[in-house]
């Protein structure tokens, strides 16, 4: 008869390996000297293997079996029950995957990643094609091993967005096509593009850093429990409940990159920092899902950071650090960070076009997994869909089908999280506005404490206790409803573009 404390200690042990691994990855991206990579990879491999072995060990299985038994489960408190439930679900999922499939996937994606990079550099899809074929085939195998009811793609979706189904997604994308696509087309035809020339110039990187730190201060980011560094691709990493680190990147020609990267990652960090400390080193110490996480980063980046209230406050900070903005009004600044563009690149897309970039990827990967299209058809399908949704055709595959790393990594089922994150953030925001009538004037004076607290109380404090749908319903009273997002976009961009 194991004690629950022993189970927690075992989880803590596993987590501690994870903490070391997180630091080792963070260090590679931020500080490690160039030549460190070779031995660091081996050390990472060693600890990752040790962690994985413990995660799927018989000992873990015995703990979970014991505490999942009705009579023992019933004895546990609410949090402990959730901890067992979540851990058991993950454990069972892992156990369904044959070890040789896991190994094969790791090997294949490692090779595929290498050839994806080369293919993109040389704009040569055929270099990547055979490896992608193999990845797709293994992903299908993985979906079969995991099991599903209706659609093979559901099994992969569930890895990133627990409970999400292809049917729901399709309903959502249809709604967006029906209601957002015409609006976007109208905007491109009849909208009046605001000024944004003042955002382009030559901006000292140290001053950009200062500005980013000001934005984090506004967000109540606790610098005693985190830090900000620079890396090629911005990311957030949690090393401890009071050690959450973000990175940003700088473009000296346009300060919007670093500012919004910082607010985006800052949003992820706030989520991690406010998951209760008691959840640390347990299965509950995570966001509810990738998409719920993304709802937090997009909330701070877009709804707050690209919102009119924030710029009433922040324009003074901007001008203090960059006097060249003197004479530009808050309203002009607000509009200048909300330019809508037909662009080939997802990561640089604005709020209006972004979801169409995702839609295209979702439709392609779902069809691939279900054998309705073949890998060699991808460049053509990509171009067709870009034409259909955004009205543009990429001049080459490097800025087309080869632009994202995800498929080479085997992350089929991940892309929808970005879209769902946007939709969740608008749905949460609509509830927040009702609960916090005074929020606009708070943000205008640079006080985000109540807004943050609302997110903590409604989202952060539950960690991974609830699945996304459950959580959304608990907070907003309904499940995913894309109307909130569409209304938010229409209202915001009608004003900005004078429609």
Q: Scan residues 336-365 and list those touching its own copies (CB under 8 A).
A: none
265 is known as an active-site residue = yes
- Of 2, 6, 43, 387, the one binding its own copies (CB under 8 A) is 43
39, 232, 326, 438: which one binds its own copies (CB under 8 A): 39
Distance, in Å, from the CA atom of 464 to the CA atom of 273, rounded to the nearest integer, reads 14
The HSE-up count of residue 173 (CA atoms within 13 Å, CB side) is: 21
Question: Pattern of binders to its own copies over 3-32, x per CB under 8 A?
Answer: ---------xx--xx-xxx-xx--x---xx
- Give SS3 for 229: strand
Residue 34 touching its own copies (CB under 8 A): yes
The tokens describing 229, both together, are 């560094």
- Residues 73, 75, 79, 83, CA torsion sign: negative
264 annotated as belonging to a binding site for a ligand: yes
Task: Pick the binder of its own copies from 4, 29, 40, 68 (CB under 8 A).
Answer: 40
Among 241, 307, 379, 410, binds its own copies (CB under 8 A): 241
Minimum separation from the CB atom of position 358 to its own copies (A): 34
- Site size for its own copies (CB under 8 A): 37
Binding to its own copies by residue 487, rule CB under 8 A?
no
Residues 401 to 460 in contact with its own copies, rule: CB under 8 A: none
Considering the complex, what minimum distance in angstroms separates the CB of residue 125 from its own copies? Answer: 34
The DSSP string of 57-123 is SHHHHHHHHHHHSHHHHTTS-HHHHHHHHHHHHHHHHHHHS-HHHHHHHHHHHHHHHHHHHHHHHTT
Q: Give Dmax over CA atoms of the chain in angstroms.
A: 72
The rounded distance, in Å, linking the Cα atoms of 442 and 419 is: 28
Q: Could you give the C-alpha distances from 435 to 145, 305, 392, 438, 458, in angstroms and in order?
A: 44, 20, 41, 9, 11
Is residue 71 close enough to count as binding its own copies by CB under 8 A?
A: no
Task: Tell me the C-alpha distance between 308 and 492, whole Å.
Answer: 9
Binding to its own copies, residues 171-230 (CB under 8 A)? 222-227
- Which of 1, 3, 42, 74 is close enough to bind its own copies by CB under 8 A? 42
- Helix, coil or strand: residue 266: helix
Q: How far is the CB of 47 from its own copies (least distance, A)?
A: 6
Q: Which of 90, 154, 243, 272 binds its own copies (CB under 8 A)?
A: 243
CB of 485 to its own copies, least distance (A): 35
List the catalytic residue out of 265, 272, 365, 366. 265
Contacts of 348 (CB under 8 A, 6+ apart): none
CB of residue 54 to its own copies, shortest distance in Å: 11
The answer to whether 48 touches 20, Cβ cutoff 8 Å, is no
Determine if residue 274 is labeled as part of a ligand binding site: no
Calpha distance 42→53 (Å, rounded): 17
Binding mask 254-283 toward its own copies (x if CB under 8 A, else -) reads --------------------------xx--
Q: Which residue has the tokens 């091993």?
A: 145
Distance CA 367, CA 491 (A): 34
Kindly tell me the sign of the dihedral angle through the C-alpha atoms of 105, 107, 108, 112: positive
Query: Closest approach of Cβ 20 to its own copies, in Å?
Result: 4
Nearer Cβ to its own copies (21/84):
21
The reply to whether 294 sits in an annotated binding site is yes
Single out the residue of 4, 8, 36, 278 in contact with its own copies (rule: CB under 8 A).
36
* Residue numbering of the annotated binding site: 264, 268, 294
Give the residue numbers marked as catalytic.
265
Which parts are annotated binding residues for Zn(2+)? Answer: 264, 268, 294
Residues that bind its own copies (CB under 8 A): 12-13, 16-17, 19-21, 23-24, 27, 31-36, 38-40, 42-43, 46-47, 222-227, 239-243, 245, 280-281
């Amino acid at each position: 008869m194991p004690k629950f404390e022993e189970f927690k200690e075992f989880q803590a042990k596993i987590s501690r390996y994870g903490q070391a691994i997180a630091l080792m990855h963070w260090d590679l991206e931020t500080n490690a000297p160039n030549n460190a990579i070779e031995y660091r990879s081996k050390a990472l491999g060693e600890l990752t293997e040790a962690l994985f072995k413990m995660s799927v060990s018989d000992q873990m299985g015995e703990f979970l079996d014991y505490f999942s038994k009705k009579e023992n489960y019933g004895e546990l408190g609410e949090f402990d029950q959730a901890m067992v439930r979540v851990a058991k679900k993950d454990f069972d999922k892992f156990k369904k995957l044959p070890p040789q499939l896991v190994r094969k996937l790791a090997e294949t994606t490692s090779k595929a990643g290498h050839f994806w990079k080369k293919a993109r550099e040389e704009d040569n899809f055929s270099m990547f094609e055979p490896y992608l074929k193999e990845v797709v085939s293994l992903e299908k195998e993985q979906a079969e091993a995991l099991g599903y009811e209706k659609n093979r793609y559901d099994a992969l979706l569930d890895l990133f967005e627990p409970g999400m189904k292809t049917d729901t997604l399709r309903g959502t994308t249809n709604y967006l096509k029906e209601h957002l696509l015409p609006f976007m087309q109208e905007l491109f035809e009849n909208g009046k593009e605001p000024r944004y020339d003042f955002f382009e110039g030559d901006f000292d990187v140290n001053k950009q850093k200062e500005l980013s730190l000001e934005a984090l201060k506004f967000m109540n980011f606790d610098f005693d429990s985190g830090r900000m560094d620079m890396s090629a691709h911005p990311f957030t990493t949690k090393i401890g409940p009071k050690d959450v680190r973000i990175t940003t990147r700088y473009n000296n020609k346009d300060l919007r990159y670093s500012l919004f990267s910082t607010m985006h990652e800052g949003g992820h960090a706030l989520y991690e920092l406010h998951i209760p400390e008691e959840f640390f080193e347990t299965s509950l110490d995570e966001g509810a899902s990738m998409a719920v996480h993304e709802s937090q980063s997009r909330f701070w980046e877009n709804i707050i950071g690209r919102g009119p209230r924030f710029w009433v406050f922040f324009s003074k900070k901007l001008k203090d650090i960059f006097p060249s903005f003197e004479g530009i009004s808050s309203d002009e600044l607000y509009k200048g960070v909300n330019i809508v563009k037909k662009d080939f690149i997802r990561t640089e897309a604005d709020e209006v076009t972004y979801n169409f970039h995702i839609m295209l990827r979702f439709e392609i990967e779902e069809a691939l997994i279900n054998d309705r299209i073949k890998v060699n058809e991808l460049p053509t399908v990509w171009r067709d869909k870009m034409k259909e949704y955004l009205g543009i055709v990429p001049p080459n595959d490097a800025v087309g089908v080869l632009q994202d790393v995800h498929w080479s990594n085997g992350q089929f089922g991940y892309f929808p999280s970005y879209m769902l994150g946007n939709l969740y953030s608008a749905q949460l925001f609509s509830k927040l506005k009702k609960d916090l009538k005074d929020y606009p004037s708070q943000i205008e004076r640079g006080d985000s404490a109540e807004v943050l607290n609302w997110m903590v109380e409604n989202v952060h404090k539950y960690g991974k206790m609830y699945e996304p749908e459950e959580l959304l319903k608990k907070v907003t009273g309904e499940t995913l409803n894309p109307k909130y997002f569409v209304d938010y976009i229409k209202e915001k961009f009608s004003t900005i573009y004078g429609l």
